Amino acid sequence: QVIEEDITKFHVHSHFLPILEEKSRGTKKYAKVVSNLPFNVSTEVVKQILPMGDVFSVMVLMLQDEAALRLANASIQTPEYRPINVFVNFYSEPEYKFKVERANFFPQPTVDGGVIRFKIKDAGEYPPVSSNKSFFSMVNSAFNGKRKMLRKSLQHLYSSADIEAALTNIGLPPTARPSELMMDDFVRLHNYLGNV
Q: Residues annotated in the binding site for S-adenosyl-L-methionine, as ranges? A: 6, 36
* CA distance to 3, 73, 161, 169, 184, per residue, from 174 (Å): 51, 27, 9, 10, 17
d(CA 189, CA 163): 8
Report the SS3 class of residue 78. coil
Binding-site residues: 6, 36
3-state DSSP helix/strand/coil percent for the chain, to nearest 5? 45, 15, 40
> By the 8 A CB rule, do 51 and 28 touch?
no
* Nearest by Cα to 153 from 168, 169, 167: 167
Query: Among the residues of the chain, which ranges form H helices?
Result: 12-24, 39-49, 65-73, 83-91, 132-144, 150-153, 160-169, 183-194
Cα 26 to its chain centre, rounded Å, is 31
